Structures are given as structure tokens and as C-alpha cells.
Amino acid sequence: MNQYILRNIMDCCLISLIETIYQNKTSHPFLPTMTISIAGAGGKTSILHQLVSEWKSRGDTGICIGTTTTQMFYPEDDGLYDEIITYETAYGLSARTLFFFSKYYPQTNKVQGLPPEILDDLKHRKKISLIITESDGARGKSIKAPNGREPLHPSTTDIVLGVIGLDSFGKHKTEEVIQRIAYANKITDIDDRPLDVKTYIDLIEHPQGLFKQVPEHALKILVLNKADTIKSKTLKMIKESLILEQLPIDGILMTSLEPHFCLYHSLSL
């Protein structure tokens, strides 16, 4: 049964929406310890930083860690993270928001993240309340089809956010839009037509698609980001089509993060 959680974009934040879906589906508290893994394309890094920012504003006790199990750009030193450090140099954790990485590549300004098993171990530390990890890379594309070993989710992940950039809607299949076109061809019925709802459904439903290798116990939430790039009529059509499809997921969020977070639709399925 589809349940509208929130339709008013005022006075809401992304972390609270995710928390509401989690509690509705599991009847379990969101804390004391939670791991959120972000896969797909179309705003993963922005979503990660948004969640950390909201955590910091909530005033909850405990430590929030942002990181990746692959590679991502080095975070801006804008005060979001109290410390940006390598895992090997982290002793006596005390800062409220931390960004962990293992190696820095100055030529690309990217960092290598941490293996999933280290994040599994971190989850059992008493002071840590929230771990948010980016679990695959997309090189700034709007759609991602994972390769053989992607994504790299920690086994203790509680929630997987599968991200699709809605700025891909109506565009043709090109390398500028889709990361790993060869894999996308195998799991989606793209042909030569513009990308549409059927493309998204194929990507969501296929076992080698957006929610590939999700731990069995983890919730799956679809995040259709960049909703500001398409018309409201089209957005409504996409939402209604996905509801009718009865997808094997636990929730849908339609969002925009530019220039700030905005919710367009939120559903618990």
C-alpha cells in the first residue's frame, strides 16, 4: 500500500525523510547506530554532504562519518567536517563530523576511501552514530549501471539510497549521460529512444542494476534527484508510473539539491 509521508516541502530535511521511511518499514529506531550507503548517479556526493550537514544541525549526540568505499573528490574545507583525516591517523574520535579516507591523489583532487569491512568494524564503536558512504563512482553522469564488482556496500548497511538524475529524462543514450553504457545496454531496454520511465524501471528492477548487491536486511530507497530540471507535469507522470509498477523498493524521494535541498515528493511503499 502506498503511503504519502510528506507533500509539503517546507520544514523538512532529507535525513528526517529517510528516518521516517525507515521507522515506517521496520518499527525500529533510527539510532543509536546506522549505516547509509549511496549508489547510482546524479548527485551521490551532494546527497552525502547534505546528510552530514543536516546531522550536524540536528544536534544529536554521537559521531557522523562521511566516506566512500571507492573514490570521490576531496571535500571542500568549508566547515562541514570537523576533521578530514586518513583512517590510519584517527585516534580517540571526538569530533562530531568526520570525513575518512585512505589515500589522497593530488593530480585529480580525489581520495581513495575505505574497504567495506572497515566500515563494518567502525559501526560497532560506541561513539559512532551514523556512517554515510558513497559506494560507487559515476564520473558526474546522471545514470549509472554498475560493473561486475560494483557497488561496494558494507555488509552492515541499513539503508541503500539508489540515485538517478532526472536531468537524464528525455535524453538519448550517450556516454555524457550514462556511466558504463555497455552494462546499461544489458539491463535496460534503451535501444535508440530517449531515456524514459521504462529505462528507470529496468534499472531499478534488474538484479544487476541500481540496487545490485544490497544486503538482504537493508531498506532500498529510490532517490530521483534533480527534479528541478523537468516540468511538474512530467514529474507527476513519473511518480504515478513508478507507483503503479509496484517496484521491489521501500520508498521514493523526488528531490533537488541546487541551490539547496528541496523535496518534491516523498513516498513509503
Higher per-residue confidence, 118 vs 32: 118
What is the model's pLDDT at position 65? 94
What is the model's pLDDT at position 4? 40
3-state DSSP assignment of residue 127: coil
Say what percent of the chain tops pLDDT 70: 93
Mean pLDDT of all residues in 248-269: 88
The residue to which cell 549511496 is assigned: 38
Q: What is the pLDDT of residues 220-234, one digit of tens each?
A: 999 999 999 999 999
- Closest by CA position to 70, among listed 121, 131, 135, 118: 135
Domains recognised in the chain with CATH numbers: 3-268 (3.40.50)
Checking if the pLDDT of 192 tops 80, the result is no
Q: What span, in angstroms and rounded, lies between the C-alpha atoms of 209 and 257?
A: 24
Is the separation of the CB atoms in 177 and 195 below 8 Å? yes
Checking if the pLDDT of 9 tops 70, the result is no
Confidence of residue 174 (pLDDT cuts 50, 70, 90): confident
